[in-house]
Structure 1
Amino acid sequence: MPIYLYWGSDDFAMAKAVDELRDRVLDPAWASFNFDKITPEQPDAAIFALNQAMTLPFGAGGRLVWLVDTNVCQQSDAQVLAELERTLPAIPESNLLLLTTPNKPDRRLKTTKLLQKYAEVKDFSPLPPWKHDEILAAVKRAAREVGIQLTADAVELLAESVGNHTRSLYNALEKLQLYALSAGSNALNAQIVDELVTCNTQNSIQLARAIREGDTATALGLVADLIERNEHPLKIAATLTGQFRTWLWVKLMIEKGERDEKAIALAAEVGNPKRVYFLKKEIRSLSLQQLQQTLPVLLELEVSLKRGGEQLSTLQTKVIQLCQICLASPRR
C-alpha cells in the first residue's frame, strides 16, 4: 500500500517506524533524489506533498514523500480535500506517501475518512501505564527485535522499570545487548536487569499503589517527583483513574460471587486472566465502598486540572483525599 498515516505522541516509536519505511523504499545511492521531507512551514505543504507523490522516482528504488506534522486530519480544507480525492487513488506503486501527526485524527472530517479508505493508519500513542499485559508484550517484542533473550522475571522487571516509555525501553535493551554479547548468556535474568537498568520508580502506577496502601508521605513524594520530571498531570490522573477502575471492577465481580478469573478479567478489561490473582491480592484490604468512593475524587481531579487548577497543589490535595479513603475503616 503506497499511503501511510502515522499518528500519536510516542515520537521515538514513530521515528523508528519512519526509518524502517525509508530503508524499505529507498535505494541508498538514489535517496537524495527520491526522498522529500515536507514540513508545515512550507507553503501549501499538503498540496506540494501530493504533487511530489505523483512524481516517479529517479534511478533505482522507490520514492518516499513524508508530510511531517500535518493537520489535514484536524482541519477542514476544501482545496486539500479535492487534491486528496484526485491524487490518492492514482499514486504510483513505486512511491510511498507518509503523513505523520502527533494528534489523533478527527474522524468526522472528510479528509480523515478519505485517508482511512486509502491509507494504512497506525497509532503511535504510548500504551496506558495501567495496561500491564500490553507493556509486557511490548517488552517481549522489542527484546526479540534487538535480538536478546529474557527470562520471564527479567521481562517483568524491565516492564516495571521503564513502564510505557519506548525510548527508555530501547536504551535499556541496548545495555543488555552489550552485556549479552560479552557474557555470552542465552537468557538474561532479573538480577542482570536489576544491575544494568535504572529503575524508574517515580511512575504513576506506583503512585496508585502508594495511595491504595494509604501511604500519604510516599504518595506525595511520588507526585512531586512526577511533576519535577514533567509528567503531564492529566496523564497522571488518567493512569490513577484507570488503575482504580480496574481494582473496582475486580472487587465488584468478587462481591457478586464471581470466581471465574476469565470472567473477572473480561469485566475489568484485563488482557491476561492470570493477572486477576494478583489484582485480588492487591485489593484484599479495601472494601467495595472504599473503591467506589475513589472515583468521584478522581473525576474532581480531572475536572480541576482541565479548568486550569494549579497542578501540584491540586494533585497533592486529591492524593491526600484518596489516601484517607483507603485508610478509612472498616476495611475488608
Structure 2
Amino acid sequence: MPIYLYWGEDDFAIAKAVDALRDRVLDSNWVSFNYDKIPPDQSDAVIVALNQAMTPAFGAGDRLVWLVDTTLCQQCPPELLAQLERTLPVIPESCVLLLTTRNKPDGRLKSTKLLQKCAGKNVREFATIPPWKTDELVRHVREAADDVGVKLTGDGAEMLAQAVGNDTRQLYAELGKLRLYAAGRSNQAIGAEDVASLTISSTQNSLQLAAAIRTGDAATALAIVSDLIHRNEPGLRIVATLIGQFRTWLWVRLMMDAGEADERIAQAAEVGNPKRIYFLRQEVKNLRFEQLQKALPVLLELEISLKRGAQEMPALQTKVIELCQVLS
C-alpha cells in the first residue's frame, strides 16, 4: 500500500517533495501514461483517484496518482469512507497514491485514521516555521544549503535566515544565486558579508515591527506596518508573529524577575538555544513585567478584530499606537 499524505502551509516545500517522489516513482519515458494529477475541482476527484490507483502501470516504472488539495482529512461522507476502506488496502504495489492538503488532518475522523494507518511513515508535515523561532529558521537554512550544495559559515546561515525568514521559495532562490557565486571561490564557505551583498532581504518584517513597538517608536512602527501591508503581508500573520514575540519577552522578563538561570528561562520561553537568552535579556531589561502583560490583551483584541473582518491597515495602525504607548 504505497500511500503518501503530505500536509502543511509550506506550498513550496510540498511541491519539492512531490517532485522528488515523482522522479523516484516514474520512468521518464512513460510519464504520460503513468502520471495522474487530479485537481480538487474535478468531479468525483476522490473516486477518480482511487480508480486510477487501481490501474496497473504501463511499461517501465510505477504509476503515480496525485490527489491535490484533498479535503478527505477534514470531511468524508460515509459512502466515500466505505470506498476508501475497500480500495486503500488493495492498491497494487506498482501504484503510488499521493494526497496533499494545506490543512491539518482532523485526527478524530475515520478517514484520517485510515489514511494514517495505510500511509504509516509516509505522512509528512510541511509547516511554515514561525518567524520568531530563529533557531529553527537557521536549521532550516542549513538543511536547504546542504540540499543545494552550498557551504555557509555560521554567521552566513544566520544572515540568510534573517534575510528570507520562513519563505522557503525565496530561500532556495537565494541559495541558487549563492551556489553560482561559490563556484568561483574554490569551494570556500560563504560568510555573512557575502550573503548580505548578494541576497534580497525584505526591508521590513514583523520582528522589526515588534522591536519598534518594544522601544515605543511609534513613527518607525507605523512605517513598518505600511510597508508590510503594501507588500501584501497578511494582517493575521503579522499579529501571530507579534504575539509569539511578546509572549517570549513576557516569559523572559517573568523568569528574570524570579532570578532564574538562562537554561530555565530558555525552557519556559521555549527558546531552543539557551545562548539566545542573553540577547533576550538585553531586549527586555528596560521593560517592566506589567508593561508586557498589558501588551498581550491589546494584541489579542487586534487578532479578534481582524478575524471579524476589520480593515487591516487602520486596525493595525490603531493597535500599534496603543502598544507603543503601553511600552513607552
Matching residue's letter, 2:162: E
| Residue-pair matches, total | 326
Q: Which runs of 5+ in 1 are unaligned?
A: 328-332
Asked if 1:94 is matched to 2:99, the reply is: no
TM-score by length of 2: 0.96
Deviations 1:287-317 (A, max 9, x none): 1111111111011111111111121101001
Residue in structure 1 matched with residue 75 of structure 2 by the alignment: 75
Instruction: Give the secondary structure class of the aligned counterpart of 1:274.
Output: helix
Deviation, 1:106, is: 2.3
Residue in structure 1 matched with residue 84 of structure 2 by the alignment: 84
In terms of mean alpha carbon deviation, does 21-30 or 198-207 score higher?
198-207
Deviation, 1:41, is: 2.5
Alpha-carbon distance in structure 2 between the residues aligned to 1:307 and 1:42: 32
Following TM superposition, the consecutive aligned residue runs of length 4 or more in structure 1 with deviations greater than 4 angstroms are: none
Matching residue's letter, 2:196: D
Matching residue's letter, 1:305: L
TM-score by length of 1: 0.95
Deviation, 1:103, is: 2.0
Matching residue's letter, 2:289: L
- Aligned pairs for 1:25-174 (under 5 A) are 25-119=25-119, 120-174=122-176
Identical positions, percent: 63
Deviation, 1:142, is: 0.4
Deviations 1:28-50 (A, max 9, x none): 11111111111122221101101
- Aligned pairs for 1:1-332 (under 5 A) are 2-119=2-119, 120-259=122-261, 261-327=262-328
Deviations 1:176-213 (A, max 9, x none): 00000123241001111111012113211111111111
Alpha-carbon distance in structure 1 between the residues aligned to 2:266 and 2:202: 27
In terms of mean alpha carbon deviation, does 18-27 or 79-88 score higher?
79-88
Q: Which runs of 5+ in 2 are unaligned?
A: none
Deviation, 1:58, is: 1.3
Instruction: Give the secondary structure class of the aligned counterpart of 1:308.
Output: coil
Deviation, 1:9, is: 2.3
Deviation, 1:104, is: 2.2
Alpha-carbon distance in structure 2 between the residues aligned to 1:160 and 1:203: 10
Deviation, 1:323, is: 1.1
Alpha-carbon distance in structure 1 between the residues aligned to 2:287 and 2:275: 21
| RMSD, aligned α-carbons | 1.2
Alpha-carbon distance in structure 2 between the residues aligned to 1:44 and 1:102: 20
Matching residue's letter, 1:249: W
